[in-house]
Amino acid sequence: MNAMDRLRASRPASVPIEADREALFDRIVATPPSGAGARPARRRRKLVLVAAVGIAVTLTAGTAVAVSTNLFGWHTDDTFIKDPRVWRKLYRDATHELRLPPGMAWPYRTLAPHTITNRSEPGGMAVAISQTAWECYWTEALRANDAQAAGQAQAALTDLVRHHMVVAPAGSPENVAPPAGTRPPFMIYASDGGLGYVKHNYALAAAGDPSGVAQSCRANRGDLQVPPVR
């Protein structure tokens, strides 16, 4: 028997649940169906009103921009870069728009030889670096009980999520690009819940649980040198 088969064979047997499943189901669905339902009604109404005004303002402003530029909606980007100098220039430009944790320098990155990519990729790379760096910093800050550093990381990541991360429509091709009014740099997420998961991890970290951001830091940091929290 090989190691994986032996591991499978060693799985502890399932212990049937003793509780009355139907009763549990009924008890759960008898509670409010979403987190919003748990809030007091007055606060909820206020939030709805603020959200409605926000959406109206955004729609009005967004439509004005879209009409003025005559470029509305997601499209495929067929403008490719093959010159590493162009790639590095775009990467450098992106780094000026983004922040890193205190004491950290932007790592050198360039376009791999015999490779082409689209124009948003260098900026996306810079966003990913900033994101991972702040996640690692947040993890450290929470473990060190440094509320100030944790707050700084949370603010930086909130800014990244709000201004530099976008979700492509479902079924988009690899070379999809956001509407022309979208200000670079940005990272494009597929419409598979990935960004939702990222936000979930940030909500956990904001509540003091670093497990999600720590996981992401470990998985993505690669050669990034994130300085310790000071």
**Which chain residues interact with another protein by CB under 8 A?**
1-19, 21, 24-25, 28-29, 31-38, 40-41, 193, 196-197, 200-201, 204, 209, 211-212, 215-216, 218-220
Nearest-approach distance from CB 215 to another protein, in angstroms: 5
Residues belonging to the chain: 230
Of the two residues 105 and 207, which places its CB atom closer to another protein in the complex? 207
Whether the link from the prior residue into 40 is cis, omega within 30° of 0, is no
**Distance set, CA 75 to CA 68, 101, 106, 169, 189 (Å):** 18, 34, 30, 10, 15
Of the two residues 26 and 83, which places its CB atom closer to another protein in the complex? 26
Nearest-approach distance from CB 135 to another protein, in angstroms: 11
Using alpha carbons only, give the angle 131, 206, 47 rounded to the nearest 5 degrees.
105
CA distance 73 to 62: 11
Residues 6+ apart with CB under 8 A from 97: 164, 184, 185
Nearest-approach distance from CB 218 to another protein, in angstroms: 7
Nearest-approach distance from CB 104 to another protein, in angstroms: 22
Of the two residues 48 and 57, which places its CB atom closer to another protein in the complex? 48
Nearest-approach distance from CB 82 to another protein, in angstroms: 24
Nearest-approach distance from CB 194 to another protein, in angstroms: 9
> Cβ of 72: how many Cβ atoms within 10 Å?
14
CA distance 113 to 129: 21
Which residue shows structure tokens 């360039």?
A: 110
Of the two residues 9 and 105, which places its CB atom closer to another protein in the complex? 9
Of the two residues 48 and 50, which places its CB atom closer to another protein in the complex? 48
Helix (H) or strand (E) holding 62: helix 41-69
Of the two residues 32 and 73, which places its CB atom closer to another protein in the complex? 32
